[in-house]
A and B are shown apart, each in its own frame.
Chain A
Amino acid sequence: MGSKEILEMASGAHDMALAVEILLPVKALSQNQTSLTRFIERAAAGDTAAFEQIMIHSQQRVMAMTWRMLGNEADARDASQEVFLRVYKYLKRFKQDQDFFGWLYGITINVCRDITRKRHQQNERFTSFDAGNEDGAFAVPSGLESVDDAAVHSQQRELIGRALATLPVKERASIVLRDVEGLSTDEVARILNSSPTTVRSQISSARKKIKIYCEQYLRK
């Protein structure tokens, strides 16, 4: 999604803020694209130092994605580790004209699906969302002024985590890629090997469920 398109889509103040929030990472990405391409080439040839640079460039996206899909930090760390191992293994198959992060998202979704499937097979249930503050893994946002604000912040994060956990894996992946990562419907369909129509249907269903879950929590 180009910066121009994002600005055109923004109509209100809130939307403008959202557009700006999304704009900056895109600009940063375009500046680093050349260096990332070079790192990919060298890492595909076996340069582990170059591969470490690739991990640094993409670790936030991967960790955030795995956390959103799996709901707790421990599983997210294991999943992120597996994602990077697969990236290293299949990096030689990556074509330079492909979208690297789209390819990375695809691997991440597959790893999360595998872990979720294994979890179901072992009859594990996602019962509580890990806010992540118990072991201090989560960094506290710098804009919060008081402990109460931090607590509210944590509760809201837990709320969203639980709402996401109620979704089937495919709907969860669709809405995270579309609403959180900001990818277009076509890009989401490509990553998930699905059609745009199916993706829209999954997104619509996921948004309804999240809205209903949030309403129920807020009414309590």
Chain B
Amino acid sequence: MNCKHVQELLPLFTGRDLDQNRATLVTAHMQSCAACAASAREYRESQQLLQQFATPQFSEAVYSGIRQRVLREISEQPVAPTLGESIAGWFRPRARWAIATVLLLAVSGLAFYLIATRTNGPQQISKGNDQRETSSTGSKPTVSPSPSNRQSHGPTSPAANPDAGGGRTGAGPLDGRYQFQRRKSSRAAAGPGPHTPDVRVITPDIRVIAAQTSPQSKPPVAPNTAADPASEKTLRVDIQTSDQNIRIIWFTHQPAKQGSPGKSSKRIQEVSSHA
């Protein structure tokens, strides 16, 4: 280690801020170098001066004056509540009760609302399903038209609508669910295109419960008969569902005594669908 290097390390060496290894090397160098040893002495003397005279001693009057000024300024400062204190103020007894009451009411109202909506929701859905079902009750009283009797009659006419009167048409287990009139308008307005059929697919053993005839109904064609003198008395009712591929054809006998013109008659006809 040369003198230049030692001179750089002496400030830390004299203050005991040098690591052990380098301190040992500096000590060894100073034993053979008078100049570096003299520099180390000068560093220690200046540090002694610093430690001895850099500690002033002030009178008690100075200190008490400082304390009094500080305490006076503290007392004059407005006591601004901190954020924590402001929040804590909300939880004073009265405020606490008020906040608790408000929160309780809010939670109760929210719970009541949630329960109410959950209760009504399924009912509304079921109502919607019922309406959909009732509007498509042509599936209930479905007719299985025989292939020979299938004729394209286009959209249903009010005369062919067995429920033009709307609503109840007669006795039976499925009575009261015939709502072709309502659906007819929607079907007519819907136009071509994919629609959910209002009439359920014909299944076996479904009976036609109600039918309605009108004076304007077309004379029905009896099933499996091309020309039958008795067919003049058979009423055929064509009902076109919203699904163009599904049409209900009803056959019914005209009553023995016809009512006044325009008066509709209702008959219950059993139709068994062909498999």
Contact = CB atoms under 8 A, between A and B. Distances in A.
Given A137-B62, A138-B57, A207-B14, A180 B67 contact: no
Given A207-B15, A211-B42, A81 B53 contact: no
Given A203-B12, A211-B46, A180 B54 contact: yes
Nearest to A154: B53
Nearest to A211: B46
Interface string B54-85: 11111101110111011101110000000000
A111 interface: no
Contacts of A13: none
Given A81-B70, A85-B73, A141 B57 contact: yes
Contacts of B69: 81
Contacts of A175: 50
Contacts of A157: 53-54, 56
| Residue from B16, B57, B73 with most neighbouring chain A CB atoms (10 Å) | B57
A208 B70 contact: no
A207 B74 CA distance: 40
B45 interface: yes
B224 interface: no
B249 to A, nearest CB: 91
A160 B47 CA distance: 10
Contacts of B51: 18, 179-180
Given A88-B74, A200-B12, A164 B46 contact: no
Contact of A178 (B15, B46, B63, B70): B15
A139 B53 contact: no
B205 interface: no
Contacts of B56: 63-64, 67, 132, 138, 157
B157 to A, nearest CB: 89
A207 B49 contact: no
A59 interface: yes
B49 A138 contact: no
A214 B46 CA distance: 7
Contacts of A137: 58-59, 61-62
A204 B53 contact: no
A37 B105 CA distance: 46
Contacts of A2: none
Interface string A117-139: 00000000000000010001111
Contacts of A203: 11-12, 15, 17
Contacts of B53: 153, 156-157, 159-160
Given A81-B69, A132-B58, 5 more contacts: A156-B53, A164-B50, A203-B11, A204-B12, A207-B43
6 contacts: A48-B75, A77-B62, A164-B54, A179-B15, A203-B17, A210-B47
